[in-house]
Structure 1
Amino acid sequence: MGLFGKGGEETSKQSGTTIVAEGTRFFGELTLDGTLHIDGTIEGTIECHGDVSVGRTGYFEGTLKANRLMVSGHVQGRVECESLEIVSTGRVYGEIASERFVIEPGGQFIGESLTRDKQAVAALSYKQQGDEAGSVDADRDEAATGSGPSLVSSDDGTAHAKARNG
């Protein structure tokens, strides 16, 4: 089945897997319905209604929104997903908002982790707007109540995170 019918009309509506191969570099905005596997480099914005996997040689920097994210390579930036898994070779640096967050022994996360609920997503959006005064006041209030950021590490001591539960 071809992608285009008569007159350039699209005939295939199936969502498949998009692969960014090792050695490929992509800069910009990527929106897709299917799954995405990254073995190359992407810098920019990804909005994926399916799952994203970053292979051992994969590198992503920017803002990523997906259903599920599995990281074997390197991710840096802002991530929003239902489920995030960092395997033993994976490295994630930045800010994440996720309902489910797993770090295998050897995997690394350095950054801020927010629970993914309406309040936390609103806080993430608020923070992205650059209101430093509001962020500092919120951190001060959380420190006073004892509900603020805390340091988290995996069993082997390689994963560190400030965790804030909304």
Structure 2
Amino acid sequence: MFNSNKKSMPINTDRIDTLVGKNTGIEGALTAEGTVRIDGKLKGDVTLSGNLVVGEEGSIKGNVKADSIMLSGIIEGNITVVSQLHLTPTSKLIGDIDAKNIIVDEGAIFHGNCKMAAAEAAVAKE
């Protein structure tokens, strides 16, 4: 769960469908398919059928839903992830997490609550 020996499923950053550059600021909801990379500032909810990469200078103020997320920047809002959330050493997350798998690297900052789908299923069986 927390930086275990399991291999992470990396997001393929060679194929980015949407890019928000570091000198770009967007206000409003973002809905997209495929891999989205945010190096700028986005204020609004993000809903993806695909993967999200938030670069070290990227920030999101809003709730985020995606298949997988690799966070190196800042998210202020709740996160729902179908597959995997990876918090890198430069990441800062202020909000709640609902995810199947979570990787937290040393140095990552997280303030909120966490609910893991796999753990919830195990508790329901008892």
Give TM-score scaled by structure 1 length: 0.60
Identity %: 29
AA at the equivalent of 2:95: G
Question: SS of 1:57's equivalent?
Answer: coil
Give, in angstroms, the shift of residue 116 of structure 1: 2.8
Task: Find the counterpart in structure 1 of residue 71 from structure 2.
Answer: 71
AA at the equivalent of 2:106: P
**Partner Cα distance (2:108, 2:16) in 1:** 28
Structure-to-structure mapping, 1:3-18, within 5 angstroms: 17-18=17-18
Structure 1: state its 5+ residue gaps: 1-14, 121-164
Task: Find the counterpart in structure 1 of residue 88 from structure 2.
Answer: 87
Task: Find the counterpart in structure 2 of residue 54 from structure 1.
Answer: 54
Task: Find the counterpart in structure 2 of residue 27 from structure 1.
Answer: 27
Give, in angstroms, the shift of residue 16 of structure 1: 5.3
Give, in angstroms, the shift of residue 93 of structure 1: 0.8
Give, in angstroms, the shift of residue 23 of structure 1: 1.5
**Partner Cα distance (1:52, 1:41) in 2:** 14
Higher share in helix: 1
**Partner Cα distance (1:116, 1:60) in 2:** 24
Question: SS of 1:52's equivalent?
Answer: strand
| Cα-Cα RMSD | 2.0
8 Å contact kept, 2:16–2:37: no
Structure 2: state its 5+ residue gaps: 1-14
Residues 55-110 of structure 1, C-alpha deviation per residue, up to 9 Å, x if partnerless? 00000110110000001111110110021000011111101100001110111111
Work out whether 1:100 is the aligned partner of 2:123.
Answer: no
Task: Find the counterpart in structure 2 of residue 126 from structure 1.
Answer: none
Alignment length, in residue pairs?
Answer: 107
Q: Which structure's CA Rg is the greater one?
A: 1
AA at the equivalent of 2:107: G
Which protein, 1 or 2, shows the higher relative CO under an 8 Å CA cutoff with sep ≥ 6?
A: 2
Task: Find the counterpart in structure 2 of residue 4 from structure 1.
Answer: none
**Partner Cα distance (2:21, 2:117) in 1:** 31
AA at the equivalent of 2:24: T
**Partner Cα distance (1:69, 1:76) in 2:** 14
Structure-to-structure mapping, 1:33-44, within 5 angstroms: 33-44=33-44
